[in-house]
Amino acid sequence: MSYLPNLLFIIILFLGIGFFAKNVKKLMRNIKLGQDTDVSDNKAQRWKNMAMIALGQSKMVRRPIAGILHVVVYVGFIIINIEVLEIIIDGIFGTHRIGLQILPQSVYGFLIGSFEVLAVLVFIAVIVFWLRRNVIKLARFWKSEMTSWPKNDGNYILYFEMVLMTLFLVMNATDVNFQALNSGNVISQYMAPWFSGLSEGTLHIIERGAWWLHIVGILIFLNYLYFSKHLHILLAFPNTYYGNLKPKGQFNNLEAVTNEVKMMMDSNVDPFAAPAEGSEDEVPAKFGASDVQDLNWVQLLNAYTCTECGRCTSECPANQTGKKLSPRKIMMDTRDRLEEVGKNIDANKGEFKEDGKQLLDNYITREELWACTSCNACVEACPVSIDPLSIILEMRRYLVMEQSAAPTELNNMMTNIENNGAPWPYNQMDRLNWKNE
Amino acid sequence: MSELLKVPTMAEFMAQGKQPEVLFWVGCAGSFDDRAKKITKAFVKLLNKANVEFAVLGTEESCTGDPAKRAGNEFLFQMQAVTNIEVLNAYEVKKIVTACPHCFNTIKNEYPDLGGNYEVMHHTQFLKTLLDEGRLTIEGGKYKGKRITFHDPCYLGRANNVYEAPRELIQKLEAELIEMKNCKRNGLCCGAGGAQMFKEPEKGDKDVNVERTEQALDVKPEIIAAGCPFCNTMMTDGIKAKEKESDVAVMDVAELIANAQDL
């Protein structure tokens, strides 16, 4: 009978991690629905970017208040998780505070003491975050795409963190033996008196309750990630690794177009010649993107990484001047549609069944796409190297090259370039007239 | 004045069997837009003054394809690019300078993949080098103490991380360089990029150029300096919309330097 808690713990741990692993598999399957793209170059720079931007939070602190508070929560999250390691070992082997048995008491006390201080700091930071969202009502948290689930999601995460930090401190405060050691209880010693009237038995029940709720809470939180914007705590790392290394102004040249253009320009090519063996494979099904499967997998990874902080949208000139475009919404729409496609595949035995919907029009409107000035402010603002602009460009490519659906003025501009080599209706032969004017 | 401008073409250089030091890529705005043509001429005056052996393509130049590419027309972009690259490579061009950040970005970043490899400089970078090498000097305190703010063109700044060259030039004028709330990597777009120059904006509650002009006016400049013909147009329109034409001028950095020496 005495093994029952251990057994229960192992089952819960197994289920918690198992469900999470299942969702991670689904996540990777969905990301791989994207087109292939070569990101194998320049590994040294990529590792450096990951170390600086994700691990080092270099772009977060560009906005100092949110940035520093975020660093507190981030560091707290990572370091307090060392405590989770002890909880897992204790849970599996039925020990209690195994750390005390293997570490000198002073070291253990120092560790737990730091966790307690961090827990309080995290708690305070999370409260400030909550106030910024719900009381100060920072504009970027109240844009039109931030209603219903995205709005609630942001708050649920904060509540979760408040509860987890509280449980951790209560667990320490009600641990009679730990308090008796008087080492490492830097914060919890002040909480212990709150429970002073209670019997040792009741304290033990509260301590065990907090312990169990803490670990179960963490496992629930882990499984919540897949459904939440909070996935960034994991995906920020691969996302910054695979982030763009080229100058921001450089847009990719479509290789399929290059082949066709070269053929058109080359007088030695026989336009009626039979295509070379296997060359059909090189021709893409379509130019640009109208749905998530047309985007590349890094763009899809971007969508899952987005934590909807809205820094991109708050820097966007179109959004600032009241246009519908919001780079954050581009990322949220991409993720929502990708999830929909994923569920469709799950429901249809691994095959995507046409559902009469697509990313274009059903999620992202043309009005949004045409409002972009391609200024890269959103890309610069993103703390985790997401590139909303590349998705906008791919969708414009689809509109123009597959649908000939550019706004009339842009069609005029392009006709001018085609006919006289300038976006305006001037003759190319007049290009040097300025010299004599 | 105009008869004093020396603007040789690549074809003329080739006929003499010579290579110029640098090709000046004028760009469509610089060739056809009335306001931008003044920038072109100011830059040429400086090149003449510094005795730079440069050439233009003249009637052999064609749009780089930037607005087509950013509107989504990759076909048209690559047709333009490949045609231009053929011309540039035929003249064995090695170094290009341009006063348009869009041409700068496209030729520098997007042409290499298509066979066009050149050293590309923005005119502010080029002028900076001329100053550093002592080939050009800035005399006269015409702009001494004047409050000048620099509007970062997206395709020069964020797109290519060039922030300092234009600022160093303004400081050489002994002007008081003042920064807007959003500058350098946080600079706000003028509203013209991504082919917006050629269309009406989407529905909103303000035009981007007005928003940016307001940011500029907040720091009370006498001159808004630009480094892009499109930004120049947008900011000039913004100043008109705010009815500040008599107080604030929008000028290209090259014009400031040329004016400073009464060229």
Is A202 in the same domain as A261? no
Q: What are the C-alpha distances in Å from B237 to residues A261, B190, B191, B202, B218?
A: 38, 10, 11, 18, 17
The Cβ of residue A378 has, within 10 Å, a number of other Cβ atoms equal to 28
Are A310 and A185 part of one and the same domain? no
- The pTM (predicted TM-score) of the whole model is 0.94
A237 contacts A383 by C-beta, under 8 angstroms: no
What DSSP string runs through B81-115? Answer: HHHHHHHHHHTT--EEEES-HHHHHIIIIISGGGT
pLDDT at B3 over 60: no
Would you say the CATH fold of B138-260 matches that of B2-130?
A: yes
Does A396 sit within 8 Å of B72, measured CB to CB?
yes
Distance CA B22, CA B37 (A): 20
| Alpha helix (H) residue ranges in A198-353 | 200-224, 232-241, 255-265, 297-305, 311-315, 317-320, 327-347
Contact B233, B105 (CB under 8 A): no
Query: Can you spell out the DSSP letters for A308-351?
Result: ---HHHHH-HHHHTT-S--HHHHHHHHHHHHHHHHHHHHHTTTS
Number of domains in chain A: 2
Is residue A261 situated within a structural domain?
Answer: yes
With residue B224 as reference, give the H or E element that holds it. strand B223-226
B158 vs A317: CB contact, 8 Å cut-off?
Answer: no
The CATH number assigned to the domain holding A420 equals 1.10.1060.10
Question: How confident is the model at residue A1, as a pLDDT?
Answer: 54
What pLDDT score does A88 carry? 93
In a domain? residue A182: yes
Cβ <8 Å between A248 and B72: no
Domain B138-260 belongs to what architecture? 3-Layer(aba) Sandwich (3.40)
Contacts of B110 in chain A (CB under 8 A): 250-251, 253
Tokens of A435: 């010299």
**Is residue A295 domain-resident?**
yes
Same domain, A223 and A301: no
The distance of B64 to chain A (nearest Cα, Å) reads 9
* CATH number assigned to the domain with residue range B2-130, chosen from the 4 options 1.10.3470, 3.40.50, 3.55.50, 3.30.43: 3.40.50
* Sequence ranges of the domains in chain B: 2-130, 138-260
Examine the domain organization and report whether A286 and A384 are in the same domain. yes
Is residue A273 domain-resident? no
Do residues A222 and A261 share a domain? no
Domain that holds residue A89: 4-31+63-229
In a domain, A46, yes or no: no
Q: Is the pLDDT of residue B4 over 80?
A: no
pLDDT tens digits for B209-219?
A: 999 999 999 99
For residue A50, is it within any domain? no
Residues A91, A183 within the same domain? yes
Residues A98 and A181 in one domain: yes
pLDDT in tens, chain A (437 residues): 578 889 999 999 999 999 999 999 999 999 999 999 999 999 999 999 999 999 999 999 999 999 999 999 999 988 888 889 999 999 999 899 999 999 999 999 999 999 999 999 999 999 999 999 999 999 999 999 999 999 999 999 999 999 999 999 999 999 999 999 999 999 999 999 999 889 999 999 999 999 999 999 999 999 999 999 999 999 999 999 999 999 999 999 999 899 888 888 777 766 666 655 555 555 557 899 999 999 999 999 999 999 999 999 999 999 999 999 999 999 999 999 999 999 999 999 999 999 999 999 999 999 999 999 999 999 999 999 999 999 999 999 999 999 999 999 999 999 999 999 999 999 999 999 999 98
Question: A-chain residues within 8 Å CB-CB of B194?
Answer: 372-375
- Give yes or no for A22 touching B (CB within 8 A): no
Position A151 in a domain: yes
Q: What is the mean pLDDT of residues B154-164?
A: 98
Q: What is the pLDDT of residues B61-119, one digit of tens each?
A: 999 999 999 999 999 999 999 999 999 999 999 999 999 999 999 999 999 999 999 99
pLDDT single digits (tens) A157-197: 999 999 999 999 999 999 999 999 999 999 999 999 999 88
Across the interface, whether the CB atoms of B200 and A409 are under 8 A apart is answered yes
Residue A49 lies in a domain: no
Nearest to A432 among B58, B196, B204 (CB): B58
